[in-house]
Amino acid sequence: MSDIVKRYDLPERHFWLHGPRSGPPVEFDARTGMWNVYGYPELHEVLGDPATYSSDTMRVVPKEMLPSEDDFSLKGFITQIDPPEHGKLRKLVSSAFTRKVVGDLEPRIAALTHELLDAARERGRFELVSDLAYPLPVIVIAELLGVSSGDRALFKQWADALFQRDAEISLNQSAEERSADIEATMKPWKEMSAYLAGHAAERRRQPRGDLLTRLVEAEVDGERLPDDQVVNFAIVLLLAGHITTTMLLGNTVLCLDAFPEQQAGVRADRSAIPAVIEESIRFLTPFALLGRATTREARLGGVTIPADQMVMLWLGAANRDPRQFPDPDVFDPDRDPNPHLGFGRGIHFCLGAPLARLEGRVALNILLDRFDTLRTDPADPVQFIPTPSLTGVRRLPLMQG
Ligand code: HEM
């Protein structure tokens, strides 16, 4: 069991953080009606085989569990699309969201980090999440898209309503649970769609130098993205673009607090920062769970999964599989290579990974410059996000100085 678990009494539902799992790497859970995959080699196989393990998971969710199609469309929601449409969309959005676009953000990310830390110093207290780890990636993604970062209270409200939910994910919900769930999701979804549709329509009328304009203008093989797909892709960016990176920053500082010898090491040799960030993603995997649906019968980890089944991929557990990572509960940035699955793998590999890594590197460097030591405050304890599919802190007060 790692120091972090002992110290913070993490919920049992984050089972992969509580030491080695006994039991098979793939198993059916009759209670939820889903298959669970925990093992690294098995997950590696699933992510590399989109023909058998489809991202279009809505197909196997009973219709009564979904909102009506008039209310809700996942068209252009890139994480839910399979080949060949996925490749076309990925090419289109990649032509707008390039490495150069991301790389050019470095000075702005550094300036924002300093501004946010200056503001925290003036207030005389420092809570890493609300003072830096949350606002930094939200402001960056809002500025990149070209929407007002001043609206970020709205984005937070939507993201919390969509992601930070305590309910267990199950295909066997009661009718009341289902309708409560649909209602809780549809309101923020609709508000977010309307907000981004307004911006996209305006960019068509009046182009600007932002990512939304590049998305409405992007063209591959003479084809452009229809409006609803621009909106859905912008939703993915706005959601994926901030809560995950918030968790990454918080988790990395938490790891350096829990493993002081690693903090001393990276302070002395800043070239180790990228390795610290990768190990933080393995050790405390922000996006700990993905879903797939089988398109045909499949053999996996010694069992047979029938066609049309929901398969839950526990990235957090695979990243702690001792068959792949010796001493998985040790935070060791010297792992080389470190083939963690925290950004996924294969055709859906995280499109925002270069941005997340850049934000992590720049922010951590500045934190190490400005704080002689990064230390949690025993009098004001760290709080974790309770949602079982996420691993991250929602409050992390640090000692000043
Ligand atoms: C996909 C994790 C940051 C945008 C993914 C996937 C994972 C992931 C696991 C794979 C989903 C799947 O296979 O079903 C993370 C983590 C992040 C992070 C851990 C931060 C530490 C970002 C950022 C952005 C972003 C900053 C954008 C600004 C995307 C997009 C996809 C994706 C667009 C879908 C790619 C596709 O389906 O082809 N991410 N992400 N992510 N991520 Fe990230």
58, 109, 235, 350, best to mutate for ligand 1 pocket (most atoms within 8 Å of CB): 350
Q: State the virtual CA torsion across 95, 98, 289, 38 in degrees, nearest 10.
A: 100
- CA 15, CA 338: separation in Å to the nearest integer? 22
* Cα-to-centroid distance, 264 and ligand 1 (Å): 30
Q: State the virtual CA torsion across 73, 309, 16, 9 in degrees, nearest 10.
A: 60
Please give the structure tokens belonging to residue 320: 């702690």
**298-318 confidence digits (pLDDT tens):** 999 999 999 999 999 999 999
Please work out whether the CB of residue 286 comes within 6 Å of at least one atom of ligand 1. Answer: yes
Q: Residue 1 pLDDT > 60, yes or no?
A: no
- CA 185, CA 179: separation in Å to the nearest integer? 10
pLDDT of residue 77: 82
Question: What DSSP line would sit under 69-108, residue for residue?
Answer: TTT---TT-GGG--TTHHHHHHHHHHHHS-HHHHHTTHHH
Residue owning the nearest CA to atom 35 of ligand 1: 348
- CA 321, CA 340: separation in Å to the nearest integer? 10
Atom of ligand 1 nearest to the CA of 356: 26
pLDDT of residue 71: 60
Mean pLDDT of 217-224: 82
State yes or no: ipTM above 0.90: yes
* Cα-to-centroid distance, 236 and ligand 1 (Å): 9
**127-184 confidence digits (pLDDT tens):** 999 999 999 999 999 999 999 888 888 888 888 787 755 555 566 666 677 666 677 7
Q: The pTM is what?
A: 0.93
Please work out whether the CB of residue 199 comes within 6 Å of at least one atom of ligand 1. Answer: no
Question: What contacts 348, CB < 8 A, 6 or more positions away?
Answer: 47, 50, 55, 78, 79, 86
Question: What contacts 217, CB < 8 A, 6 or more positions away?
Answer: 207, 224
Q: Tokens 């919390």 — which residue? A: 160
Residue owning the nearest CA to atom 10 of ligand 1: 344
Please work out whether the CB of residue 290 comes within 6 Å of at least one atom of ligand 1. Answer: yes
Find the farthest-apart pair of alpha carbons in the chain and give their distance in angstroms, rounded. 60
Atom of ligand 1 nearest to the CA of 315: 9
Task: Please list the helix, strand and coil fractions of the chain in percent, rounded to the nearest 5, in that order.
Answer: 50, 10, 35
| Measured distance between the N- and C-terminal CA atoms of the chain, rounded to whole angstroms | 30
Please give the structure tokens belonging to residue 59: 């197909």
Q: How many CB atoms lie within 10 A of CB 252?
A: 25
Please give the structure tokens belonging to residue 214: 């590049």
Please work out whether the CB of residue 343 comes within 6 Å of at least one atom of ligand 1. Answer: yes
